[in-house]
């Protein structure tokens, strides 16, 4: 088991390891602390008790002001209803969910690719990752820290539990990123590869300090460029 750990100022990753045939997979979520804390995705219901304990060790439920959902696969919305009940001041920010919360009293703010909102003085922008497995997927970029939440993109099954991808040999990690990516879809399957590459380039050109993914170790430093090269 990996403990919650800081990946940037005001940014804590909540990791959850899952056994895989050739090592360990991840079901991660993230908390952006600060004046208006943001919970990024809500993990799987299977891990609910431990997940709630980990999240609320980082931030008090009453302090959470925003809940960002990248997409509504079960391992990203598994604890959404519970968190909405426990966090009465929180507003849900997301794209179009297939199964939105039913309670009309709950505040929901819909956001589209490229749109942003301000949370406690920091600007958070929805940026769709190049690869995903649900068509409504949105990533999240924090302009204050340079952290990009890439949802399923950049996932990797690794042989041993690690916090940062740099703890895995580069060739081994990048091969795992490519292998995981084969289960995802291009952002627009019908587009020319040159156009796809251009979209990847736009994201790679952002001021990035960390690529945080729901399904792999965090990518930082020189490994960021190599990860984008692998995606291309």
What does the pLDDT look like over 147-175, one tens digit per residue? Answer: 999 999 999 999 999 999 999 999 999 99
- Tens of pLDDT along 17-65? 999 888 999 999 999 999 999 999 999 999 999 999 999 999 999 999 9
What pLDDT, on the 0 to 100 scale, is given for residue 188?
Answer: 57
Distances (CA, A) of 224 to 77, 85, 165, 221, 227: 27, 37, 10, 6, 5
Domains and CATH numbers, the chain: 5-231 (3.60.15.10)
pLDDT of residue 103: 61
Coil/strand/helix, residue 19: strand
Q: What is the pTM of this model?
A: 0.95
What is the C-alpha separation between 16 and 20, in angstroms, rounded? 13
The DSSP annotation for 46-110 comes to GGHHHHHHHHHHHS-GGG--EEEES---HHHHTTHHHHHHH-TT-EEEES--SS--S-TTS-EEE
**What is the model's pLDDT at position 186?**
65
Residue 183 has what pLDDT?
86
Q: State residue 192's pLDDT score.
A: 77
């Amino acid at each position: 088991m990996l403990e919650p750990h800081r990946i940037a100022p005001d940014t804590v990753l909540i990791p959850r390891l899952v056994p895989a045939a050739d090592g360990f997979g991840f079901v991660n979520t993230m908390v952006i602390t600060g004046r208006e804390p943001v919970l990024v995705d809500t993990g799987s219901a299977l891990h609910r008790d431990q997940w709630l304990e980990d999240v609320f060790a980082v931030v008090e439920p009453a302090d959470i002001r925003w809940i960002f959902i990248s997409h509504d696969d079960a391992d990203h919305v598994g604890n959404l209803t519970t968190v909405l009940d426990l966090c009465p001041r929180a507003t849900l920010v997301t794209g179009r969910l297939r199964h939105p919360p039913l309670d009309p009293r709950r505040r929901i703010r819909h956001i589209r690719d490229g749109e942003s909102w301000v949370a406690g003085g920091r600007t958070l922008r929805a940026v769709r990752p190049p690869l995903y497995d649900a068509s409504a997927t949105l990533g999240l970029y924090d302009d204050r820290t340079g952290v990009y939440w890439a949802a399923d993109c950049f996932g990797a099954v690794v042989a041993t539990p690690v916090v940062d991808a740099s703890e895995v040999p580069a060739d081994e990690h990048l091969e795992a990123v490519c292998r995981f990516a084969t289960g995802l879809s291009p952002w627009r399957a019908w587009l020319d590869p040159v156009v796809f590459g251009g979209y990847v380039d736009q994201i790679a050109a952002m001021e990035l300090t960390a690529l945080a993914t729901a399904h792999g170790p965090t990518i930082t430093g020189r490994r960021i460029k190599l990860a984008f090269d692998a995606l291309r």
